[in-house]
Amino acid sequence: MTNIKTVFVTGGAGYIGSHCVLSLLEAGYNVVAIDNFVNSVEQQESAASLDRVSRITGKKIIFYKCDLLDIQQLDDIFNKHQFDCVIHFAAMKSVGESIKQPLMYYKNNIVGAMNLLDVMAAHECYQLVFSSSCTVYGNPIFLPITEDHPIGNVTNVYGRTKYFIEEILKDSVNSDPKWNVISLRYFNPVGAHSSGLIGEDPTKNFSNLMPYIALVALGKKPTLSIFGGDYETPDGTGIRDYIHVMDLAEGHVAALKKLQSKQSHLEVFNLGSGQGTSVLEFVQTFENVTGVKVPYIIEARREGDIGSMYANCDLARTKLGWTAKYTLDDICRDFWRWQSLNPNGYKGNSITSTNGDTCH
């Protein structure tokens, strides 16, 4: 049995990472987080999202600006702290960009993960929760998708990086039984913390649905572009499984508890709502919940997109004791609260701490 007290979180200042850090702190864990802000439009030196997390929880977070490609800096951080477990979020994440710049994605995501595993092993830290993706399933051959669905026939480079890292983790576990790994395959994270203090930063370059809805709702864009209106779905638009980001965060806490309770070696779990929602249904729900109209136009399908994808999450329910609790109405309400209170995201609200300083 492993007693996990201090968790190292890569990509901790990002959208999912910051919400997960909040849940970790509320569950009693100590957190050291890193981020290189690669998904930011502008270069950043500090983590405003984690400052907000500290305000919400009243707890401290040690933060370093660090790139996983800098293995020496990563090793220095491990020399300064004793980590019981790592949660690995850090990755470039745009499907469209990954298709246009595959080498950049392979280098950042895969080499960064390998550097992390090397440093973890060197410091005898073998407990890992990996942020994977439903994209590893490719174009589904059956729905809802269970964890034993074939993987590897991926439709985009981003998804292939997640698939390759899962294979690296599988080989690592097979080669050394000290490794204890849980891979969480996310579906579509949306929403924000109910406080309205943290959420998905609209100042970044997005390719996903909800930030674009918000930009139209805020009047920053005239119309929402819906890519693909001719899928074999009831209304012709793509169907996805939208999961509240706080449900997702709680899934990571459940995974840590699983690592503590027994050796997992390598286990894989879907994290989703278990329900499929079309893009038009999502837009209509947002309008109904917020009272704000979102004009849209239907455009051609994007390369790498698929028609329908949603999860079967029975395994997470039975083995992790986790289920998604928030509804689509909750998702829209919480996201609009965040967006209304922070129309420019975190811009102008950065903390002053630098490498190794404590956010509090």
> Where would I find the beta strands (DSSP E) of 119-187?
127-133, 180-186
Give the C-alpha separation, 340 to 355, whole Å: 31
Phi, psi values for residue 207, rounded to 5°: -125, 5
158 is catalytic: yes
Q: Please check whether residue 87 is in contact with residue 9, taking contact to mean a CB–CB distance below 8 angstroms.
A: yes
Q: Please check whether residue 287 is in contact with residue 294, taking contact to mean a CB–CB distance below 8 angstroms.
A: yes
In total, the chain counts a number of residues equal to 360
The residue whose two tokens read 């502008």 is 42
The burial class, CB within 10 Å (0-12 / 13-18 / 19+), for 62 is buried
Assign 278 to helix, strand or coil: strand
**Which residue type does 190 have?**
V
**Which residue type does 316 have?**
A
Give the C-alpha separation, 239 to 24, whole Å: 31
The burial class, CB within 10 Å (0-12 / 13-18 / 19+), for 83 is buried
Out of 15, 158, 231, 296, the active site residue is 158
Closest CA relative to residue 217, chosen from 298, 300, 283: 283
Phi, psi values for residue 114, rounded to 5°: -65, -40
Torsion sign over Cα 92, 98, 104, 108: positive
Residue 336 contacts by C-beta under 8 Å, 6 or more apart in sequence?
A: 214, 217, 286, 289, 290, 292
Give the C-alpha separation, 323 to 122, whole Å: 35
Report the catalytic residues.
158
